[in-house]
């Protein structure tokens, strides 16, 4: 057992729904602008800034400034694998709209996870 690692810091960063939504969006494998992550998480740009700072400080994401925009991406592929494993054991949230239901069906059929094809098509 590794006694000197601080998984509580990472766990606290993952434990917020807005931050979790941002991390799941980053599983696509591309860097996303802070404004796009704010929209995905249902936060204002200023509200998302604190969440993105917490994720950056805890280590799951890295930031890169490009011109006037700041882009975020997952820190590494090991984190992507850990998030995918957590998603396997996490409870499913029921769809609250037709759009969410259709998006869920599409993701179940075919989706990409960070660097590989997943879903029913990926398994096939």
Q: Kindly state whether residue 2 falls inside one of the protein's structural domains.
A: no
E strands present in the chain = 32-33, 61-66, 69-74, 111-113, 116-118
pTM, entire model? 0.74
With a cut of 90, say whether residue 94 has pLDDT above it: no
Residue 28 belongs to domain spanning: 7-90
Pairwise CA distance, residues 34 & 67, whole Å: 13
Q: Kindly state whether residue 59 falls inside one of the protein's structural domains.
A: yes
Q: Kindly state whether residue 1 falls inside one of the protein's structural domains.
A: no
Which is more confident, 88 or 121? 88
Residues 6+ apart with CB under 8 A from 77: 114, 115
Domain count, the chain: 2
| Same domain for 86 and 29 | yes
Asked if residue 61 lies in contact with residue 23, where contact means CB atoms within 8 angstroms, the answer is yes
Residues 6+ apart with CB under 8 A from 109: 119, 120, 121
| Same domain for 11 and 60 | yes
């Amino acid at each position: 057992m590794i006694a000197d690692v601080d998984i509580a810091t990472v766990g606290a960063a993952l434990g917020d729904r807005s931050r979790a939504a941002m991390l799941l969006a980053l599983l696509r494998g591309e860097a996303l602008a802070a404004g796009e992550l704010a929209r995905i998480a249902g936060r204002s740009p200023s509200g998302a800034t604190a969440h993105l700072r917490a994720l950056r400080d805890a280590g799951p994401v890295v930031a890169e400034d490009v011109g006037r925009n700041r882009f975020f991406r997952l820190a590494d592929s090991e984190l992507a694998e850990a998030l995918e494993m957590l998603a396997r054991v996490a409870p499913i949230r029921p769809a609250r709209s037709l759009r969410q239901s259709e998006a869920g069906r599409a993701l179940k059929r075919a989706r990409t996870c960070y660097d590989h094809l997943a879903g029913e098509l990926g398994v096939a």
